[in-house]
Amino acid sequence: MTTAKRKAKAPAAQPAFLPRLQEKPLETLGQLAGLGAAAGAVVSGLGFVTLRAREDLLGLSPSLTYPKQEWLVTGFDALGALLWRGLSVLASAHPVLTWSAWMLVLLVVGLALAARVPRRPVVLLATLVLSVLLLFAGSGFYRTALAANSPPDAGPSRGSRCGERLSANLADRAAFETCSWLVNDTPRNESLRNDLGGLLGWLLAACATAVLVSARMPAAGRKISWLRWSLCGAHALLALLLLRDLPRAHAYASWGLRYPQVQFREPCDPALARATVAESCRAFDVSAGAVRKVVFLQGSGCPEGRGGSFLHLGSSGSDGSECLVTLSSTRVIADVSDGANP
């Protein structure tokens, strides 16, 4: 189809929705509802996977059960956070994050500008080639940084694997640095975790722009057509790989290893209540909206040597919150503390 024909056809397609709604209101609304339900299911699925990624980051096992609305809220939160964290990373306290974000912004703008020069497909092709190289390297580093020396399938780490392979190698340094943002408990590190999550938004935006631009690029010949579809495919593949990292990125940025500290109430468990009040045993509420409360215990003063383990609370009639007093402080649960390793 030529560009002229496509342009002629495009205006007719846009206002077709309203007449269609007037002609077949029930059918159209039904289709809309179907679309909404499908989107809701996808977002809920994303929320579910994100909550599982949170558990992986924490080493929490067995998995928790969450209400369905928690899936949906977490899914929307993961998508929405791409936007606000994406804006936040542009003014990050870490120069590498800031520069990476601005580079990606420039790439998006460059792709959009190159697409506006249809008479010179070489410009767009060159930009797309540059884009795929940059995004390939960038996403590689991003995945390394996000893994933070602790691959999701490696089981509970809570920071003990940080720096297993520390050297002057750039990837090793990136992983060590981002791992330290998880375990070093400072407000700055919390902000940096958010910024790293936001960088994914720009990586995805650059991939999406490249896919869109390459798919709409006029094909002047067979070779160019083959090249643009290859580039489109490469960008789409990168986007899929990055999307796979979205749950972990959101879990890393939103929770990390930082959870509210709690104390036990005397009637539920007197020994734990005494130990958590005296802080010889620290308890953290790691439920994050699960139907039953789960507490992580840390410290050599935890009764019955339960330090370093998860305690699942609640029964059929309660979620276990009546046993806990939430303190105002949130702290990082790292596998490094005097209690955990005297």
Binding mask 298-317 for other proteins (x = CB under 8 A): --------------------
166 binds other proteins (CB under 8 A): yes
CB nearer to other proteins: pick between 174 and 286: 174
* Member of 185, 312, 319, 327 binding other proteins (CB under 8 A): 185
199 binds other proteins (CB under 8 A): no
336 binds other proteins (CB under 8 A): yes
CB nearer to other proteins: pick between 44 and 189: 189
Could you tell me how many residues of this chain bind other proteins (CB under 8 A)?
37
154 binds other proteins (CB under 8 A): no
CB nearer to other proteins: pick between 182 and 249: 182
- Nearest approach in angstroms of CB 299 to other proteins is 9
* Member of 31, 169, 230, 309 binding other proteins (CB under 8 A): 169
The token duo for 49 is: 């996977």
* Member of 66, 71, 142, 176 binding other proteins (CB under 8 A): 176
CB nearer to other proteins: pick between 82 and 182: 182
CB nearer to other proteins: pick between 23 and 338: 338
From 102-110, 115-123, 178-186, 260-268, span contacting other proteins (CB under 8 A): 178-186
From 80-88, 177-185, 266-274, 302-310, span contacting other proteins (CB under 8 A): 177-185
235 binds other proteins (CB under 8 A): no
- Give the CA-trace dihedral at 92, 94, 96, 101, to 10 degrees: -10
- Contacts with other proteins in 76-105 (CB under 8 A)? 94
338 binds other proteins (CB under 8 A): yes
Instruction: Please state the three-class secondary structure of the chain as a single string.
Output: CCHHHHHHHHHHHHHHHHHHHHHCHHHHHHHHHHHHHHHHHHHHHHHHHHHHHHHHHHCCCCCCCCCHHHHHHHHHHHHHHHHHHHHHHCCCCCHHHHHHHHHHHHHHHHHHHHCCCCCCHHHHHHHHHHHHHHHHHHHHHHHHHHHCCCCHHHCCCCCCCCCCCCCCCHHHHHHHHHHHHHHCCCHHHHHHHHHHHHHHHHHHHHHHHHHHHHHCCCCCCHHHHHHHHHHHHHHHHHHHHHHHHHHHHHHHHHCCCEEEEEEECCCCCHHHHHHHHHCCCEEEECCCCCCCCEEEEECCCCHHHCCCEEEECCCCCCCCHHHEEEEEEEEECCCCCCCCCC
From 53-61, 222-230, 307-315, 333-341, span contacting other proteins (CB under 8 A): 333-341
> Which CA distances in Å does 236 have to 82, 210, 211?
18, 8, 6
* Member of 44, 88, 131, 160 binding other proteins (CB under 8 A): 160
183 binds other proteins (CB under 8 A): yes
From 23-31, 66-74, 199-207, 328-336, span contacting other proteins (CB under 8 A): 328-336
- Nearest approach in angstroms of CB 131 to other proteins is 18
Under 8 Å between Cβ of 212 and 124: no
Report d(CA 199, CA 88) in Å as an integer.
9
337 binds other proteins (CB under 8 A): yes
- Nearest approach in angstroms of CB 190 to other proteins is 12
CB nearer to other proteins: pick between 65 and 328: 328
Question: CA quadruple 21, 24, 25, 26: dihedral positive or negative?
Answer: negative
Whether cis (ω within 30° of 0) applies to the bond prior to 62 is yes
Q: Which residues bind other proteins (CB under 8 A)?
A: 94, 137, 141, 159-164, 166-173, 176-177, 179-181, 183-186, 188, 279, 334-342
